[in-house]
Amino acid sequence: MERWPWPSGGAWLLVAARALLQLLRSDLRLGRPLLAALALLAMLDWLCQRLLPPLAALAVLAVAGWITLSRLARPTRLPVATRAVLITGCDTGFGKETAKQLDAMGFTVLATVLDLDGPGARELRACCSLRLKLLQMDLTKPADISRVLEFTKAHTSSTGLWGLVNNAGHNDVVADVELSPVATFRSCMEINFFGALELTKGLLPLLRRSRGRIVTVGSPAGDMPYPCLAAYGTSKAAMVLLMDTFSCELLPWGIKVSVIQPGCFKTESVLNVGRWELSKRLLLANLPRELLQAYGEDYIEHFHGQFLNSLSLALPDLSPVVDAITDALLAAQPRRRYYPGRGMGLMYFIHYYLPEGLRRRFLQTFFISPCLPRALRPGQPGPTSTQEAAQDPNPNPGPSPTAAR
């Protein structure tokens, strides 16, 4: 028996009316994304017609069409006008490219760098307008942070401070937690968490006054147990939780908080193979002898090589991250999370919805393939048996009297 066609037609009329309205307002573009969305809706309609009662089919198709068109709509942007933004970590990578783009859009950009005479600072001076101000800041030094806070307060008194982009980040070791020095965890936390926390708190009076934005560059390593990135990932996880807390607490003040979780991109720090080689040599030179014997030098070499191989697949175009930061600063309703980068949607789907074993296997396949420590390989004495043999003065005793009875 044929299904009554009117519910489906009613849903399509609703979708068509909204699409036409968005096209007239220039909120929607004719292109592949729209055509793909319509094709998926047609497939959904076909399924609903066969599996659901008429009214349920109408509701499902109408809601799916409304959500799809909402996702495809181009966000409403606020005018740049005389807005001022402070960006940290502009020596290289995302920070430098974001500073260049925001300056070109007309922002007053305060860009912090570690070295005022470094190549990144020279490039920004050469290609940006006189509105851009370069500030030297090391997030591990409270005096540097205080100086930047005073400068920002003095130079945004007329325009106000619209946004803070916490971009500066640090990672200097690729190793298991047991092999990573505790000092590495501390250095990551000092820069990626405590320094950013101190700067953000210091700028909150300015941001509250402007009802502005806080944008923080996080990392998927802060959400997922990436092999060999525990020190970096732990600091990023702490930072993201802090931003979520700020998002709730600052909502009454009108401040919007966003976190960017980018995939792997070819920034200067990623491409600096010499830095990673030096880090590996320092790790091997300072490992306790017992740990080096248990894991093996070849284990560390394997993970180092796999890490460098994963970096070779990094994306060269940084614009998705820069565009996400820009949207978080200017969208009337910015997202709380942005995931720029190829395959990020699939990665987070696997992380949130698949069993733990499959999640772990995916990360190992995608990032670093597993390798057994030396002490766990077949034919090698395990750590427990080795310790017991060392402690037992008589490894082959005869049967005890109790056992003989």
CA dihedral 285→289→295→300, nearest 10 degrees, is 0
The yes-or-no verdict on residue 249 having pLDDT over 50 is yes
Dig out the tokens for 268 from the structure. 């200067």
Residues 38 and 127 in one domain: no
Residues 93 and 170 in one domain: yes
Least-confidence region, from 3-7, 243-247, 337-341: 3-7
Mean pLDDT value of segment 287-299: 94
pLDDT of residue 404: 34
Residue 262 lies in a domain: yes
Q: Quote the CA–CA distance of 62 and 56 in Å, as a whole number.
A: 10
- Which stretch of DSSP H or E encloses residue 271? helix 268-271
198 close to 232: Cβ distance less than 8 angstroms: no
pLDDT of residue 169: 92
Residue 399 lies in a domain: no
Mean pLDDT value of segment 123-152: 97
Residues 62 and 211 in one domain: no
* pLDDT per position as a tens digit, 77-132: 788 888 999 999 999 999 999 999 999 999 999 999 999 999 999 999 999 999 99
Residues 156 and 295 in one domain: yes
Complete DSSP assignment for 42-74: HHHHHHHHHHS-HHHHHHHHHHHHHHHHHHHSP
Dig out the tokens for 152 from the structure. 């920002």
Residues 37 and 185 in one domain: no
Q: Closest Cα partner for 263 from 337, 314, 303?
A: 314
Segments forming the whole domain that contains residue 36: 9-72
Q: Closest Cα partner for 97 from 331, 272, 324, 261?
A: 324
Supply the residues annotated as catalytic.
Answer: 232
Residue 92 lies in a domain: yes
Residues 266 and 145 in one domain: yes
Residues 204 and 251 in one domain: yes
The yes-or-no verdict on residue 391 having pLDDT over 50 is no
Q: Quote the CA–CA distance of 220 and 222 in Å, as a whole number.
A: 5
From residue 3, how far is each of 50, 96, 307 by CA, in Å? 8, 59, 56
- Residue 171: Cβ within 10 Å count: 21
Residue 205 lies in a domain: yes
**pLDDT band at residue 275 using 50, 70 and 90 as cut-offs:** confident
